[in-house]
């Protein structure tokens, strides 16, 4: 109950901050004009939302699309990638700090197969967990750090794994309302990637759980 109330409170605070700073508007022209006039400020807020999304359970895909709409596909992609890298670095740091904590042990007991697959496939399973939409990506990132994966390997895997989907959804944001064919092609490409990763994920999950 307390967890749900905290999530709701963070969502309300996020909406309030966006509203007070003129970033919550259905008028895209006015929104883009505001961002153009307050570029650095708007970018900091956007990256900040990426960082707090972990605590507010905000999915990454909507933020990628919003980034494309508000900042354009290239700048939106860069900002989303920066925000993603910072948030997942935070996950890595917290996991390392809690490496012997009961919470980490709780995750391992609750997800024994994930730990076994991480130990077996290392960064390859981390990459799959990031791309696959049905995988608990933040849990996998957290556990990757706990089993001792080097930070450079970890963050490079996070960045490279996010590039395809992040590029597609960043361009989707600017394409919506301009080219129906473009939207269809982007969604089709994303669907193919997601279906393939789901199939791989399902096959791996069916492997015997040997630690």
Report the length, in residues, of the chain.
211
Q: What is the pTM of this model?
A: 0.72
User: By C-alpha distance, which of 65, 83, 88 is closest to 167?
Assistant: 65
* Per-residue tokens: 14: 């996020």
According to the model, what pLDDT value does residue 142 have?
83
What pLDDT was estimated at residue 176?
Answer: 60
Chain segment 50-75, per-residue pLDDT in tens? 888 877 667 777 888 888 878 888 89
- Count of CB atoms within 10 A of residue 197's CB? 21
Q: In the chain, what are the domain boundaries?
A: 2-205
């Amino acid at each position: 109950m307390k967890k749900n109330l905290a999530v709701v409170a963070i969502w309300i605070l996020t909406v309030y901050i966006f509203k007070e700073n003129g970033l919550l508007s259905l008028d895209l022209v006015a929104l883009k004009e505001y961002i153009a006039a307050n570029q650095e400020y708007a970018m900091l807020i956007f990256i900040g939302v990426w960082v707090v999304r972990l605590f507010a359970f905000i999915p990454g895909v909507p933020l990628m699309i919003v980034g494309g709409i508000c900042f354009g596909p290239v700048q939106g992609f860069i900002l989303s990638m920066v925000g993603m890298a910072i948030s997942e670095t935070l996950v890595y740091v917290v996991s390392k700090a809690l490496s012997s904590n009961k919470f980490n042990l709780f995750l391992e007991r609750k997800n024994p197969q994930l730990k076994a697959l991480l130990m077996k496939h290392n960064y390859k399973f981390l990459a799959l967990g990031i791309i696959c939409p049905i995988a608990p990506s933040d849990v996998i990132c957290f556990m990757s750090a706990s089993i001792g994966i080097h930070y450079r390997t970890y963050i490079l895997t996070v960045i490279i794994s996010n590039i395809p989907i992040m590029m597609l959804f960043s361009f989707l944001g600017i394409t919506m309302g301009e080219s129906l064919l473009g939207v269809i092609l982007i969604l089709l490409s994303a669907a193919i990637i997601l279906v393939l990763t789901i199939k791989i994920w399902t096959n791996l999950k069916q492997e015997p759980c040997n630690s």
